[in-house]
Amino acid sequence: MILYELIPLDVLRVIWWLLLGVLLIGFALTDGFDMGVGALLPFVGKTDSERRVAINTVGPVWEGNQVWFILGGGAIFAAWPPLYAVSFSGFYLAMFLVLAALILRPVGFKYRSKRDSAAWRNGWDWALFVGGAVPALIFGVAMGNVLQGVPFELNDMLMPLYPGNFIMKLLGLLNPYALLAGVVSLSMLMMHGAAWLSVKTEGAVKVRATEIGSVAGMVAFAAYILAGIWLAFGITGYHITSVVPDNGPSNPLFSTVEHSGSWMRAYADRPWIAIAPILGLAGIAMAVRGLRAGREVSTLLWSKLGIFGVISSVGLTMFPFILPSSKMPDASLTVWDASSSHQTLFIMLVCALIFMPLILAYTAWVYKVLWGKVTVEDVERDSHTVY
């Protein structure tokens, strides 16, 4: 027997679906508070020193946190090539906005303190705001579009086609439900950034962060409930009506998909997945309570639990769909028909089992070394502080 055949193809596909979720959630849990701090920056820091305090809480770690984003993109490219091709084509404009905003972040960190000019530093502070708020919003908008189905087709050569011109595509992405999902994402990550600042700062910065973060958390809680109700009663779901080719070739056109009913049928078929939205709501609620009560580490942990629950609820609700097509339902990408080959998935799994523990261990060591609060006195006393 060939070595990679020790693990069946359908099992490997589910494993890589889970690992993709782990990478995306890991990105949200770590780089999420970086983006949240950026989105909060103009509001929690009224003076240059206060803004430097906020920036220095994430400046030393943001690059390491962004590794999860790179790993997620790499995993999509290698494990789910059709998903990579279709999503990066259909969400090209969204990807461009995200990348443009993310590019502002390292430039802002490196250039902000190069000149002792209020106008210069304020400009870069707003650049950091854009670098945090825009990706947080766009990621949610993209998720809202995925839940509704993306208008793509596949021809006989499995090439993705997107009908319509540039304006139609832009307006299609910015639909009401997708914008609501963007509000959930942005407010949730602002709450997460506030939870991080409550751990890493003190004084006025911490007070403002907890006040704004608790409001953002309440917005996230309400918007998530509204999005769930809308999904149940206003968004048409997808389901496979043919035999599921779980061990078959990666060809989406081999399946028959029907665009009807509700996504909520997943909760009737698999009642245990209800734990995900429950954890999401409980985590957000407890994070808001912690921010108001002045708790620190526990608030950050509750915030992470809320993010975990919200993101995992989307994946579990859609399973086995990864990217449904509203234009041509039979072209929808699922766990069973959009993966790489059996051998490729196995080799990648071996690599992941080797390198992911190393990444986790290094990340934990970095946070241990950099643990502690950043104060106004610290940044004012140390004139050589980079950020």
Read off the pLDDT of residues 346-379 as tens digits, 9 standing for 90 and up.
Answer: 999 999 999 889 888 988 898 888 888 888 887 7
316: CB partners within 8 A, 6+ apart: 266, 270, 273, 276
Number of other CB atoms surrounding residue 88 within 10 Å: 15
- Strand segments (E) across 32-188: 153-154, 160-161
Read off the pLDDT of residues 159-217 as tens digits, 9 standing for 90 and up.
Answer: 887 776 555 566 677 889 999 999 999 999 999 999 999 999 999 999 999 999 999 99
Sorted by where each begins, the domain ranges of the chain are 28-381
pLDDT of residue 370: 84
pTM: 0.92
* β-bridge partners, 334: 321
Read off the pLDDT of residues 73-86 as tens digits, 9 standing for 90 and up.
Answer: 888 989 999 898 88
Give percent of the chain with pLDDT exceeding 70.
96
Distance separating alpha carbons of residues 328 and 160, to the nearest angstrom: 11
Is the pLDDT higher at 93 or at 195? Answer: 195
Is the pLDDT higher at 219 or at 254? Answer: 219
Tokens encoding 277: 């939205």
Q: Which of 44-58, 80-94, 176-190, 254-268 is predicted least confidently?
A: 80-94
